[in-house]
Amino acid sequence: MANISSVGISSGVLTSDLIDKLSSAEREPVELRLDRKEEEVQAKLSAIGKLRSALTDLRLPSRVLSNADSLRSLTANSSSSALSATISGKATTGSYSVDITDLAQAHALKTSGYADKSVTTLGTGTLTFSVGGKTTNVTIDSSNNTLEGIAKAVNAQSDSGVNASVINTGSNFVLVFASKETGLDNAINITVSDGDGNNTDTSGLSQLASANLTESSAAKDAAFTINGVPITRSTNSVSDVIDGVTLNLASKTSGSAFSLTIANDDEAIVGRLNDFIEKFNSLKTLSNELTEYNSTNPSESGMFLGDATLRSINGQIRGILGQIVPGLSGSKVRSLSEVGISTDKETGLLSLDENVFKAKLTSNTDDVIGLFADQGRTTDAQVSFVSSSANTKPGSYDINITQAATNGQLTGSLALGPSITIDADNDDFKIKVDGYESGLITLSANTYTQADFLTELQAKLDADSALKGAGKSVTASFDGTGQLQFTSNSFGAVSKVEITQVDTNSLSQLGISVAAGTDGVDVVGTINGKAATGSGQTLRMDSDDDSKGISVKVEGSATGSRGKVTYIEGIAEQLVDKLNSFLSFDGSVGNKETTYNKELESIAKDREKLESRISALQSRLTQQFTAADILVGQLKSTQDFLTNQLGALLGTNKKD
């Protein structure tokens, strides 16, 4: 293409400036149309972005309210600083009178004072620590037989249950052995195998035997009463007395009882509901602005006036919030309006009467929870709803049991009399529960009544660290004939009990020997007429059915019809699902965004085509102008030649 800057030299008319003006005249109307279209699409895309943010903001408080626990918030109030409590799990409201008579304390033993911690030696041999039913041996030799060396050797055995430390009193050094855990069951007993051959004297390593140490802190259980019932526990943090409540004992109350109240935390629940209403109203306000009709100046109406997508989103949300929740039709609370949530007829905004809501929450807690969250209800008192899935559809489903779950159990072979004697030949055994073996269970030598014997046996089983560490437990009892019985506290096929080690006379005097008991079985049955999967006492529907995903816990031994389970999907739970569908990539909002982004891409391509067309026009005009300019130049040359020739002729004539 000819240099556009050189165009018009000959003519002085067909210049590059004229090409630019002709090009601009061609570009401007198209470019103006594309600019306006792009501005409109960008504005809509921005508005859809705001709508996405508002829907996302509403999803979080909706998800909070869809969790039943968020509507069952409890608070613990203690009238004394001696006790605090935290709520977890399935706690219920209640009032309790508490008196703390003693706090749990860790056992500690100390040596006499020594002049140094790293020079004086205390002999060699083996220290044996017995703590909480566990025995640990620590070897002491010439490399570690100082106070400091012994402390390091003991602490290297991290599972011994003991911490060792050297204390500088200011005048001497003292070695202290302290139990890692509080409680009587975690008292420390130290025996010594002394390298000097004498394990009981006060010289050599025998200095560290329990009998030669001073008790600096007695092992104690926490002792307290709740509503007059005496209770002892090995720690000051107690979570197994009141369901869902952890008690934290801080100090004694010396016989002066105080109150502990577990009550509904109404303010926290109302706060969550107000957060939901605030986010909904923000969404509704935005939606109103985007779809508003301006009768005075229609051109200033909302940019999505009449838009099918927003109309659909608004309609679906309104349908969820305005419905009577399926499954609650016969309940005292069925819709939002019945818990004090009203809708402004003009704006569609929500408002809350907190007093009405609190009253309904107190009087009809389960119905209020079902109004918002997913909830399962059963008609059999021994069947409880466990969970559902995203595939579960609201409705009522029959439960039929053909086999109830059982515990693994082992029964002895000897009916024991009213008096039971424990001695060195029948005092220890090992038991395996659900595949996990205990440590050596050692009973205290004594003559017991049957009731006292069970108390001693159960205490030792409960204290076993190996079973506790595995989360396993077993209950000891007598059957109807007086035979010892061990029952795993779990249910199902994994529930097993086995005696793996016994003492010399355990069989002849207690009726227990190395043997395996009867394994438990899983629950078997149907939900909604279809076979469900049993695991322990839990029955779960895995088949492709409306009830898919429902799990129930079936207790008791009854078979046959066990009533119905009703799954209720509350408003907040439904709204979360609906919002997720709107916000998904191929949902209402996602499709809108995709459409507008494609329009922007199309506009960008139209701009590229326009530039190509203008460039071609400029090239064509330049070529045409250049050709014309050359022709003008040639004409000018001819003109100049003729002018000169005529001038010459005129000059000749004058001479003549």
Q: Annotate 410-423 with b (16+ C-beta within 10 A) or e (fewer).
A: bbbebebeeebebe
Q: Which of 215, 182, 181, 216 is nearest to 104 (CA)?
A: 182
Q: What whole-number distance in Å separates Cα of residue 360 and Cα of residue 378?
A: 22
Alpha-carbon gap, residue 226 to 212, rounded angstroms? 40
Sign, CA torsion 315/321/322/325: positive
Crossing angle, helix 16-65 and helix 571-583, to 10 degrees?
Answer: 160
Residue reference for tokens 């855990």 = 181
Q: Residue 656: what pLDDT?
A: 54
Phi first, then psi: give them for residue 146, nearest 5 degrees. -95, 175
Torsion of CA 327, 331, 335, 341, to 10 degrees: -150
- Residues of the chain where predicted confidence (pLDDT) is lower than 50: 1-4, 10
Check residue 3 and give its pLDDT.
46
Q: Are 532 and 541 in contact (CB under 8 A)?
A: yes
pLDDT recorded at residue 653: 61
CB atoms within 10 A of CB 338: 19
Per-residue pLDDT tens for 51-103? 999 999 999 999 999 998 888 888 999 999 999 999 886 788 899 999 999 99
CATH assignment of 409-516, among 2.50.20, 2.60.40, 1.10.1740, 2.40.30: 2.60.40
Within a 10 A sphere around the Cβ of 616, how many other Cβ atoms?
10
Amino acid at 242: I
Q: Are 503 and 427 in contact (CB under 8 A)?
A: yes
The pLDDT value given to residue 642: 79
300 CB burial (10 A radius; 0-12, 13-18, 19+): exposed
- Cβ distance 386 to 552 under 8 Å? yes
CATH number at 106-217: 2.60.40
Distance, in Å, from the CA atom of 474 to the CA atom of 476, rounded to the nearest integer, reads: 7
3-state secondary structure of 498: strand
pTM over 0.85: no
507: alpha, beta or left? (left if phi > 0; alpha if psi -120 to 50)? alpha
pLDDT value, residue 118: 95
Tell me which residue of 89, 70, 579, 74 sits closest to 374, measured CA to CA: 70
Quote the CA–CA distance of 566 and 379 in Å, as a whole number.
9
Compute the half-sphere exposure of residue 616: CA atoms within 13 Å on the CB side of its CA. Answer: 6
